Structure formats: C-alpha cells, structure tokens
Amino acid sequence: MSTDYYEVLGVSRDATDEQIKKAYRRMAMKVHPDVAQSADAHEKFKQINEAYETLKDPQKRHIYDRGGDPNQMGGFGGAGGFGGAGGFGGAGFDFTNLVDAMFGQQTSRGPRSRVRRGQDALVRLQLDLAEAAFGITKSVKVDTAVLCTVCNGKGSADGSEPTRCSTCHGQGDVTTVQRSFLGDIRSTQPCPNCRGYGSVITNPCHECSGEGRVRASRSINVKIPAGVSTGNRIHLASHGEVGPGGGPAGDLFVELVVRNHEVFRRDGDDLEMVVKIPMTAAALGTEVTVQTLAADRPDDDLGEPEVRLEVPQGTQSGTRVTVPGQGVPRLRSNGRGDLGVTFMVQTPTRLDDEQRELLRQLAELRGENSVEPSVQKHGRGMFSRLKEAFGGHD
C-alpha cells in the first residue's frame, strides 16, 4: 500500500490508541473542509478518516502493519463506508459522530448533595512568655458557622422536604445544544434553578435561609502544652465550620503567638536576662537575688521563683553565669533549659565632692591617673556578650 497511515496522522508506529485518537482529533480540526477552505481539503479529510479507521481497530492495524489490505475485511471501502454512496456530505454522514470523536461524549454528573463538610478555620492566640513556657488552658473566641438549631441542618421550615426541580427534573444539570460548522455541540452545566442539587427548598428555614447553618461566636477551651513557641499550632478536630446542609464540621487550628517579656529573652529552651550591678559591687564582690520566670506564676508550683547568685570580686561587664534547669520546659522531652544571667557593671554618673575625691585617691593608689587605652581584640569579648544578652547578633 502506498499511503503511510502513521505519517498521515503524524504518529510513530508504536503509538498507543490514545495517542492515535488525539492525533486524529487534531488533524481533523485542522483539515476539515469547512475550516481549511482549500481545493484538496475533502481528499485530505477523507485520507485522515481512512487512516484513523484503520489504526484504531486492532485487527485492521495488525493486517496493515503486516503489509496487508485492511479494507479486504469488508469495512471502510464497502458500500456503506466513507468512499461509497453515503460518503462525505451524503445521507450516511453524521456530524454528531464527528463531534463526539473530537470532544468526547459528555455525560450527566447527577445532582450534588446539599450536605458537605465544612471548611477548616484558623485563629491566632497570644500568650505571655510564662503561659507558653509552663502551659495553660485558655478560652478562644471563634466566629464561625454552627448548626442551625431551628431546622437542625435540613434547611427547610416546619419539617418540610425539598421538592424535585422542574427545570432539570432532578438531574442537577441541564444540557444545551449549540450549532456550529461541525454540527451540534452539546454542553452540560449545573442547573441554574436548583444550583445543581436536583431539588428546591420551597419553604426555607427563616433562621438559616435554607443553608442549614448560621454564623455565631463561640468560646472553646484550648489546652496549651508547656514549652510551645511562636508559630506552633494546636489542632482541634471537628471544631471548625459546620458544613452546608448541617454537614460535618471542619477542623480548627490555633496558631500561637508569644509576646516579648520585659526581662527575659528566649533562646530555644534557654532564657537570657541582664542584671545591672554597681561598679563597687563588681569590684568587691557580692551576692544578688534574681527572680526566675516562675515568679510570673506565683500560685503554681513551677520551680524556684528566685535564685541567689554570687558575684565574684572583679566581675566585668558581660560576664555570664548559667543557672541550670531554670529555663523553658522542653516541649517534646523531659527537663528544662537553662537560665543565662549576664552582669552589666554600671559606672556612676553623679558624684558629690566626697565621692569624687575618694575615687581620685583610689585611682592614685592604683596608678590609674593616666591610663593608656587597651584595645580589645576581635572575638567573643565583653561587647559581644552584652550585645547577645540584649538580643543582638555579632
């Protein structure tokens, strides 16, 4: 045979049935006589149909691939085929079949249910640092959709039932037919009268207007575990919006936001704080009492509310000491982080004459009347530690 059907459709010899079908649709739209408007359009269109009729049939394709003539099977070239008396444009040619081959047969989707699952909801909850560290149960106000108690989600008043839609006859969708040069093109859309439900609520509930749900505010108690931080979410199943038609509720997600503390800075499970001490106390040494984060929750047994720290003689600004186990409880394991305390030595700014004289005498005794500056080499020195303590970075 002189005609290469694979070349006509522009496919390879190992093309699948789906690839052959897509190629035929593409070529048929391209060379259809009503589109191409060329002298040989009829002949090309006939050739494309002949190639498709052969290659779509497994038996005919097998015979063609072996060099035989598939038309000897009494198919395409017979009296009832494309080349017979009922050829292109004749009484035997059906444009609807061509459209179905190109666009596929559209079928009804059927009525959709009025009862559907509700959407998930997200709310944000602000916590103090102590609440996030030690856990707490808080009430969250949620503006959401709840079940209509008047109709109990049915949407109809007085116990009445929805009636069958007269437009789509209960199918939920309607089919329209549009004329084109390819014939009748059918399209299926949701019924505009019943919105695809197949039924109409003729006597809707006065409370929910047929939705089966209403908007309302409700409060939910949320248990916050110890050790949470900003960005953590609490998942509450079936606490979201009730669905249309009284459908099952979605889920509620509570996203946590932890406020900054006026004393403590959180670093993972550790806490950092800065304690100011006088210059004289730093030079001579002393003891200081500092409050821990547990002091913010005095009524709960959350550990020591205060600790006593020793300040050694000659303590410099930026000196940091660690108090084990006074940080934040670990969220997914036992134990707590540590409390880091950084000392900042304060230099007096207001001196009376007596104090100024005493300091001058001290300077003379220490040979510090004239001091050459000592440059701090780059590294993790005093300024670096102070900057970190105040929340900065090197």
Q: Please give the annotated binding residues for Zn(2+), written as ranges.
A: 148, 151, 165, 168, 191, 194, 205, 208
Chain mean position to CA 252: 14
How many C-beta atoms surround the C-beta of residue 267 within 10 A? Answer: 15
Number of H helices, E strands in the chain: 10, 15
What distance in Å separates the CA atoms of residue 97 and residue 184, rounded to the nearest whole number?
10
Contacts of 312 (CB under 8 A, 6+ apart): 285
How many C-beta atoms surround the C-beta of residue 341 within 10 A? Answer: 22
| CB-based contact 213:226 (threshold 8 Å) | no
What distance in Å separates the CA atoms of residue 305 and residue 386, rounded to the nearest whole number?
25
Structure tokens given for 217: 């505010």
What distance in Å separates the CA atoms of residue 230 and residue 215, rounded to the nearest whole number?
29
- Supply the Cα-derived Rg of the chain in whole angstroms: 42
Supply φ then ψ for residue 322, to 5 degrees.
Answer: -115, 135
Instruction: Please state the residue numbers annotated as binding site.
Output: 148, 151, 165, 168, 191, 194, 205, 208
DSSP string, 52-115: HHHHSSHHHHHHHHTT--GGGGSSTTSTTSTTSTT-TTSTT--HHHHHHHHH-------PPPS-
Give strand pairing partners of 144.
216
What distance in Å separates the CA atoms of residue 167 and residue 175, rounded to the nearest whole number?
11
Beta-sheet pairing, 121-127 with 252-258: parallel
Of 239, 229, 222, give the one whose Cα is nearest residue 136: 222
DSSP 8-state assignment for residue 232? -
With b meaning 16 or more CB within 10 Å and e meaning fewer, what string describes 82-116? beeeeeeeeeeeeeeebbebbeeeeeeeebeebee
